[in-house]
Amino acid sequence: MTVSQSNSEYDRGVSGGDTIMKVRDTSVTFDMDRGESRVLDSVDMDIQRNEIIGVVGESGSGKSMFASALLDAIVDPGQLSGDITYYPESGDAEGQDILEFDKEERRQYRWEEVSMVFQGAMSSFNPVRKIETHFIETLTAHDENVEEGLERAREILRDLYLDPDRVLESYPHELSGGMTQRALIALSLVLEPEVLVMDEPTAALDLLMQRSIISLIRDLKERYDLTIVFITHDLPLVADIADRISVLYAFEFIEIGPTNEILEDAKHPYTRLLLKSTPNLGSPIEDMRPVEGSAPDPVNVPEGCSFHPRCPLADEQCVAENPGPYEVSGGGDHFAHCHHWEDASDAIPMMEEGANRADADERADRPSTAGYGDRSGDPVVSVDDLEVHFEEDTGFLSFFSDPDVVKAVDGVSLDVYEKDVVVLVGESGCGKTTLGKTAVGLQEPTGGSVKFHGEDIWDVKRSGGEDVNWGQIRRSLQIVHQDPGSSLNPHRRVKASLEEPLRRWNKDLDGNDRRQRILSLLTHVGMTPPEDYIERYPHQLSGGEQQRVALIRSMMMNPEVILADEPVSALDVSLRVEMMDLMIQLQEMFGTSYLFISHDLSNARYISEKTGGRIGVLYLGELVEIGPPEQIIQNPQHPYTQALRWATPELNPQEERATEAPIRKIDIPDPKNPPSGCRYHTRCPEAREVCKEQKPETYDAPTNVESHQGTCFRMVDDHEYWESEPLPEGEEGTLGDSGSAGDEGTATGD
Ligand code: SF4
Ligand code: SF4
């Protein structure tokens, strides 16, 4: 096997194909008071014509800088240097040096040759202009025939399963997140570029929409002959579509190779550790480990191999010499920047081939709830037939018509026990946050009840309780937000933020006791030296550190239940396992229960499986399935849970995944006007006539697992559902194998 450190070997290795862009020795730097910040450090890459290449990295690894560099769009005062050559025609030996373009050439290159899709389409569109205006402006700015261009736009919108008339006539806020993101993709394609750079294009979307758009991207590449650079922090997501994956660490590419080789046997220690740290549905829980340490500051990147402070294989050579690219496979297309890549597989073993499948099957086969969290006592919090209906303010129009009512939560019953973990999952707008807030007394229900140790908390608030009072309830039911910045006062040091609850709830502690308790908790959560951390303001902490402070601040009140609202979704993948492990440790220390909200089934699986908890699946305000994670993940009974399971990206390249989407429509119906009967019937591929008319009750799942229940007629052997006629495909619209609406009926549903 060739082992090489020279860039010329790398050139020979990766330049064999039909290269459309060649990036050499390219850097982006910013001059800062404390020194030069090198946010892209002498990177090399060849992008092959018509491939999808995934660029994977954690926040601050340089991936967005790389994307901007490809368009020569680094904002001031950043400095872009190096060589980026674009080869517009196949076989073009010379190419064009994009950093030498004059203003006019650059204008033509951007969007006409290389186009970009950013995350968060809403912020890319001007909110006071219709979508059509954006297309017209883009076409006009590039001297294109507007009429022909708009015709092309309509075609692309149709290819993205959108109704062109409706979308073009809409303002951005009139479309759902998934629709605006698809409209933005259409806009980026309207000038018929050769290369599409997508920077986290699905990060803000729900799982089902994300998976559907990923499938569409694959189709678009074929249909429009595109080369796609897909930039993401989410390795499993890109693994589904990329031909090759490149991994960025500390502003450099540290490994690049074919997707299957990277997933099966990555050669760089960081890639291996990143894969092991990624929550997923297949691997044994005990195999998932956080990557120790943190990524370097761009002003202070370690000498030699930048990963050496975190690498279990590091030796003197690693500290002294920056490793060049070593060719690690006979194919000449897999490179790792590591001196000891040959030892990485033994030193950092991945899961054995097939182990995850066998393990998963074994987990699904577990017959009973034995060993799960003890739910034999009385619940701490109990919600019964809960309703939270909001009247939507229609302003002036409300004089003439009844206001619309959003049934955010509708008829949910759920008990949370001591030291329990219940994870609520579902798409945006399914009611999971409203249910969580209502369960911890932050939102008053419009129907049903919420009880704390058997007493209705709103009765206690209004007229006092027998055994509990309102102050005790407020202290016992806490919340940790997704954005820890929102719960920490930006003007208060960590010490002041953490002292406040101790002063309020532990009046017997003096100043010294409070300080000692804070120092000990900061040490416990790995924020050392704690004497340094207590003096910092929130902006001097990383996202993960802020979340830790928010968590221990809640724990200071000795709560019985914490509502953790997407507590890890803003963190990098490699930190999620660490944060969830920390939550579990604190749970053991303080005896707390969690109501954990997540849109991500992999995170839900991790924390619930590790704690013997449960996963509850919400759809349009209703709890449609609940049970142990092994059942919900490996043996889901409700068709909606099955769709969420399908949409969750996998890491296992061996896994045969159904390409056919088990869902009729991408978009969730309007919660103001939920479908009749079973609310899922408009999207359910198993729906029959009876599902339109009758509302399913909660049934025990046919899995012999006591706490596994769901609301689907298919769980009942002798239900009339089985005699009922299937809903015709055309009536509600059916999805094609791209996971998208496949006929006109559904396009209008968007
Ligand atoms: S070069 Fe050394 S420190 Fe860097 S990844 Fe390889 S073994 Fe680890
Ligand atoms: S009750 Fe009918 S529509 Fe609802 S999930 Fe079951 S099969 Fe689908």
Higher pLDDT, 393 or 681: 681
pLDDT tens figures, 538-583: 888 877 788 889 888 888 888 999 999 988 887 777 788 888 998 9
- In which band, very low, low, confident or very high, does the pLDDT at 5 lie, cut at 50, 70 and 90? very low
> Can you tell me the mean pLDDT for 146-154?
95
Q: Binning pLDDT at 50, 70 and 90, where does residue 656 land? A: low
> Alpha-carbon distance 587 to 584, whole Å?
5
Tell me the pLDDT band of 16, cut-offs 50, 70 and 90.
Answer: low
Q: Confidence band (pLDDT; 50, 70, 90) for 367?
A: very low
451 confidence band (pLDDT: 50, 70, 90): very high
Task: Give me the pLDDT at residue 375, please.
Answer: 73
User: DSSP for 634-651?
Assistant: HS--SHHHHHHHHHS---
| Confidence grade of residue 738 (pLDDT, cut at 50, 70, 90) | very low
Measured in residues, the chain has a length of: 750
In the prediction, which pLDDT does 354 show? Answer: 45
- The percentage of the chain sitting over the pLDDT mark of 90, rounded to a whole number, equals 51
- Distance (Å) from CA 729 to ligand 2 centroid: 15
Q: What is the pLDDT of residue 731?
A: 44
The Cα 418–Cα 745 span in angstroms is: 48
Ligand having the closest approach to the CA of 343? 1
User: Are 291 and 310 spatial neighbours (Cβ–Cβ below 8 Å)?
Assistant: yes
563: left (phi over 0), alpha (psi -120 to 50) or beta: beta
Question: If pLDDT is split at 50, 70 and 90, which confidence band does 429 have?
Answer: confident
pLDDT at position 81 is 95
pLDDT of residue 505: 77
Q: Is the C-beta atom of 46 inside 6 A of ligand 2? A: no
Omega within 30 of 0 (cis) for the link into 529:
yes
Q: Is the pLDDT of residue 286 over 70?
A: yes
Parallel, antiparallel or unpaired: strands 593-598 and 421-425: parallel
Tell whether the model's pLDDT for residue 603 goes beyond 80.
yes
Q: What is the pLDDT of residue 548?
A: 86
Positive/negative CA dihedral, 115, 121, 125, 130 = positive
Residue of 139 and 578 predicted with greater confidence:
139
- Give how far the C-alpha of residue 679 lies from the chain's centroid of Cα atoms, to the nearest Å: 26
91 pLDDT more than 50: yes
Mean pLDDT of 301-314: 94
| Residue 147 alpha carbon to ligand 2 centre in Å | 45
Q: Which residue has the higher pLDDT, 578 or 47?
A: 47
Ranking 145-154, 162-171, 283-292 by mean pLDDT, the lowest is 283-292
Q: How confident is the model at residue 359 (pLDDT cuts 50, 70, 90)?
A: low
Range 24-27 contact pairs with CB under 8 angstroms and sequence separation of 24 or more: 24/82, 24/83, 24/84, 24/85, 25/82, 25/83, 26/69, 26/80, 26/81, 26/82, 26/83, 26/84, 27/79, 27/80, 27/81, 27/82
Tokens of 320: 């002294």
Instruction: Please give the mean pLDDT across all residues of the chain.
Output: 85
SS3 for 500? helix
Q: Looking at the CA of residue 640, tell me the nearest atom of ligand 2.
A: 5
Residue 194 one-letter amino acid: E
pLDDT in tens, 474-515: 999 999 887 777 778 888 999 999 998 888 877 788 888 899
Is the distance from the beta carbon of residue 153 to the nearest atom of ligand 2 less than 6 Å?
Answer: no
DSSP string, 392-423: E--GGGGGTSPPEEEEEEEEEEEEE-TT-EEE
Ligand found nearest the CA of 316: 1
From CA 157, how far away is CA 182, in angstroms rounded?
8
Nearest Cα residue to 583 out of 610, 602, 623: 610
| Residue 147 CB-density burial (10 A; 0-12 exposed, 13-18 middle, 19+ buried) | exposed
Q: Which residue did the predictor score with more confidence, 231 or 740?
A: 231
| pLDDT score of 412 more than 90 | yes
Q: What is the pLDDT of residue 740?
A: 37
**Per-residue model confidence (pLDDT) at position 369:** 39
For residue 532, the tally of other CB atoms under 10 A from its CB is 12
Residue 728 has pLDDT above 80, yes or no: yes
CA distance 208 to 160: 15
How many Cβ atoms sit within 10 Å of the Cβ of residue 38? 19
Please indicate whether residue 254, judged by its CB atom, sits closer than 6 Å to ligand 1.
no
Between CA 577 and CA 288 the distance in angstroms is 7
Is the pLDDT assigned to residue 73 strictly greater than 70?
Answer: yes
The per-residue pLDDT for 13 is 43
Nearest CA-CA partner of 586 in 550, 618, 630, 540: 550
DSSP reduced 3-state for 724? coil
Q: DSSP string spanning 178-234?
A: HHHHHHHHHHHHTT--SEEEEESTTTTS-HHHHHHHHHHHHHHHHHTT-EEEEEES-
- Say how many Å lie between the CA of residue 678 and the centre of ligand 2: 6
DSSP-H helix ranges across 266-340: 269-277, 316-320
Q: Listing from the earlier edge strand, what are the strands of the sheet with 252-258?
A: 114-117, 195-199, 227-232, 52-56, 244-249, 252-258, 335-336, 326-327
The confidence band for 586, taking pLDDT boundaries of 50, 70 and 90, is: confident
- Per-residue model confidence (pLDDT) at position 742: 33
Distance of alpha carbon 540 from alpha carbon 534, whole angstroms: 11
Phi-psi region of 324 (alpha: psi -120 to 50; beta: other; left: phi over 0): beta
Q: Which of ligand 2's atoms lies nearest the C-alpha of 678?
A: 4
**How do residues 182-213 score in pLDDT, each as one tens digit?**
899 999 999 999 999 999 888 777 888 888 88
Question: How far apart (Å, rounded) are the C-alpha atoms in residues 21 and 232?
Answer: 19
Residue 76 pLDDT level (bands cut at 50, 70, 90): confident
Q: Averaged over 606-610, what is the pLDDT?
A: 94
Decide whether any atom of ligand 1 lies within 6 Å of the 325 Cβ. Answer: no
**CB atoms closer than 10 angstroms to residue 349:** 11
* pLDDT value of position 376: 72
Residues 6+ away with beta carbon under 8 Å from 489: 496, 497, 538
**Higher confidence at residue 532 or residue 395?**
532
Q: pLDDT at position 398, please? A: 55
Distance from Cα 596 to the centre of ligand 2, integer Å: 26
Is the CB of residue 313 below 6 angstroms from any atom belonging to ligand 1?
A: yes
Q: How confident is the model at residue 400 (pLDDT cuts 50, 70, 90)?
A: low
Please state which of the ranges 24-33, 64-73, 89-98, 372-381 shows the lowest mean pLDDT: 372-381
Cβ atoms of residues 18 and 10 within 8 Å: no
pLDDT category, 368, cuts 50, 70, 90? Answer: very low
The per-residue pLDDT for 139 is: 94
Is residue 382 within 8 A of residue 550, CB to CB? The reply is no
Nearest CA to ligand 2 atom 5: 712
DSSP string, 457-479: HHHHHHH--SS--HHHHHHHEEE
Model confidence pLDDT, tens digit, residues 234-262: 888 888 889 999 999 999 999 999 999 99
Mean pLDDT of 650-677: 76
pLDDT tens profile 696-724: 999 999 887 888 999 999 999 999 999 99
Q: Is 323 in the pocket of ligand 1 (CB under 6 A)?
A: yes
Residue 395 scores a pLDDT above 60: no
Count of Cβ atoms closer than 10 Å to residue 720 Cβ: 12
Q: Say if CB 388 and CB 310 are below 8 A apart.
A: no
Distance CA 633, CA 260 (A): 24
Nearest CA to 714 out of 706, 483, 723 is that of 723
Q: Give pLDDT, residue 667.
A: 73
CA distance readout (Å), 264 to 235, 239, 652, 671: 13, 11, 8, 43
Query: What contacts 697, CB < 8 A, 6 or more positions away?
Result: 711
Cα torsion 216, 433, 483, 523: sign: negative
